[in-house]
Structure 1
Amino acid sequence: MARRKQIYEGKAKVLFEGPEAGTIVQYFKDDATAFNGGKKGTITGKGVLNNRISEYLFQKLNEIGIPTHFIRRLNMREQLVREVEIIPLEVVVRNTAAGSLSNRFGIPEGTQLPRSIVEYYYKKDELNDPLVSEEHITAFGWATVQELDELLAMALRINDYLSGLFLGIGIRLVDFKLEFGRLTHENGEIQIVLADEISPDNCRLWDLKTNEKMDKDRFRRDLGSVEEAYQEVARRLGILPESGPGDMPGPATMQ
């Protein structure tokens, strides 16, 4: 396997220099974290499944005109993406009360919200990714007013599409996290595109009939059957790898 220069390692992925200028190889790990790294573990085959699930969802979003950083999947654990400047915000879309929203406002988990709610969190692990307002975002220069308008419009459109897609396979999209980046084109034009991933790692997915959790909450809350839940999401999407989640060695790095 060719040796490549590692440029970043996060909690769930490793980024390497891509084969061409302006590209990055995104490697999906089996490592699992929760509570901003307070809980750590391994979910066997998670990287393979998240790679396939995220590939499928990004392709579907590309088809409806949502610009993304995704180019193509390279193998079981890697995909080629465009290099972007990540906007330091987590954009969270909530359709049903769960997690921190339930805790903050005392709303019973599972309560359907009167409308979809979009929240912004500042991406800073050492600060536990604090909830921020549009005033904070524009005042501190994390994004412009125009960029925020784009983020909001794209997040709501993604929510509408994914809610319907998951509904069609018997899954409720409770909430999910998005990240966006600035893609600079050769002519100097800057475009806001969807980046990172969409998978059971950053979505809350519940079975439509039983409300059984099919996402990383199974790891967070020690519910067990974590691998099986990720596999079931992939199975319902029709993309479970033929040989199961499988495994492959991590990529060689060059320091």
Structure 2
Amino acid sequence: MNLIYRGSVKDLYQNNDKIVFEYSNRYSIFDWGEMPDEIPHKGEALAAMASMFFEHLSARGFSSHYLSGRSRTSIEVQPVKVLRPEWKGEAYDYSMYASRPTQCLVPLEVIFRRHLGQGNSLEGRLKKNPAYLADLELSKMPTSADSFMPALVEVSTKLETTDRYLSKADVAAMNVVNDAEYAALRKNTQDVAAELEKLFASFGVKLWDGKLEFAFTHENNGQRGLVLVDSIGPDELRLTYEGLPLSKEFLRQIYAGSEWSEAVKKAKDLAKERKTEAWKSICENELGQRPAALNAEQIQVSSWLYLALANEIATVLNKPRPFDENINLKFWHQKALSLLEKKP
């Protein structure tokens, strides 16, 4: 196998005519990329969950690039081209999408929101730009207590150094999808979100929001088809169990309020003002901040999060539990609550 891409969480290998996703124990938060620590067995849990999610969705009619599980830490998928926009001057150039390529990644991340909750970014963005309400098909300003059925859908950039939320006008200017494809992205995302919500609710987990990725397939009557790609798991979804974050949000909460996390916010603002993509360099070199390492308890409880969730999903799907039978969500909740209560 040939390594073709090393990401912050998983590595991609070419294996003849297939792509192998090798899930690591690395993690990334706040767009930083690889963090100082690794989370034991995280890669095994993510591979197990990705297989279970894709197989569950396939049985309900949702197409994806998933082919099969390959090992304890990897899955095999169909290859998808990634056409990366280039930074030119003060903006990214998406002109390679004008020819309407197929069998390639849609360069948009599709975000769905079933519930808002405290601290959501949407309320603040809407206050700054009330016209965005129309793009979201909302008739009034939402509050943190609001829920949406079907899920509210937004899109952001996927292949830039920092994700940017996009209006309909922004998407149109990028010329990466036509109106029918944009509508299909929204509808497919809402349908997948509804199916995932039912699955999680069956074992007491609340799905708040998440992000999905798609690839273009063949074109028919002026509209390219869409299939799910990348991965599905707690790194792409915001979940809670009995009030505690059961996703990457748990790791964000550990770091929230730290000097580094505050510096990340400031660095992104400075980069935006300067019209540069180099916010991470600003954070490290100008503000002098890098993420601190986690302590042993934080690492262990974070590991149990992934193992417990994988075990619970396997149970409701009538599959063997991939990890120690004693690691379940009740066990994790007790340990996580104790850990977070110690946070200043």
Aligned: 1:241 with 2:322: yes
Task: Indicate if the aligned counterparts of 2:307 and 2:323 stay in contact, CA closer than 8 A.
Answer: no
Structure 1 segments, 4+ long, off by >4 Å, are 102-109
Q: Which residue of 197, 200, 206 maps to 2:231?
A: 197
How far has the Cα of 1:88 moved from its partner?
0.9
Amino acid at match of 2:163: D
> Residue 90 of structure 1 aligns with which residue?
109
Query: Cα distance 1:61–1:214, how it changes in 2: closer, same or farther (>3 A)?
Result: same
Distance 2:207 2:178 in 1: 29
1:1-255 equivalences in 2 (<5 Å): 4-20=1-17, 23-37=18-32, 40=35, 41-84=37-80, 85-98=104-117, 99-101=120-122, 104=125, 111-115=145-149, 116-126=151-161, 128-183=162-217, 191-207=225-241, 210-222=242-254, 224=298, 225-238=301-314, 240-242=321-323
Higher helix proportion (structure 1 or 2):
2
Higher strand proportion (structure 1 or 2):
1
Query: Cα distance 1:102–1:190, how it changes in 2: closer, same or farther (>3 A)?
Result: closer
- SS state of the match for residue 169, structure 1? coil
Which ranges in structure 1 are unaligned for 5 or more consecutive residues? 245-255
Distance 2:157 2:45 in 1: 28
Percent pairwise identity: 25
How far has the Cα of 1:113 moved from its partner?
1.9
Distance 1:170 1:76 in 2: 26
Greater relative contact order: 1 or 2 (C-alpha under 8 angstroms, separation 6 or more)?
1
Measured against aligned partners, the alpha-carbon deviations of 1:175-219 in whole angstroms (never above 9, x if no partner) come to 11100012359xxx9531000011011111111xx2111111111
Query: Cα distance 1:242–1:191, how it changes in 2: closer, same or farther (>3 A)?
Result: same
Task: Indicate if the aligned counterparts of 1:87 and 1:182 stay in contact, CA closer than 8 A.
Answer: yes
Task: Indicate if the aligned counterparts of 1:36 and 1:125 stay in contact, CA closer than 8 A.
Answer: no
Q: TM-score, normalised by structure 1?
A: 0.83
Amino acid at match of 1:212: L
Structure (1 or 2) with the larger CA radius of gyration:
2
Measured against aligned partners, the alpha-carbon deviations of 1:62-118 in whole angstroms (never above 9, x if no partner) come to 111111000001001111101121111110111111443366469876x34244211
Task: Indicate if the aligned counterparts of 2:8 and 2:26 stay in contact, CA closer than 8 A.
Answer: yes
User: Could you tell which deviates more after superposition, 93-102 or 71-80?
Assistant: 93-102
Amino acid at match of 2:186: L
RMSD: 2.4
Which ranges in structure 2 are unaligned for 5 or more consecutive residues? 81-103, 128-141, 256-297, 315-319, 326-344
Distance 2:29 2:234 in 1: 13
Task: Indicate if the aligned counterparts of 1:231 and 1:240 stay in contact, CA closer than 8 A.
Answer: no
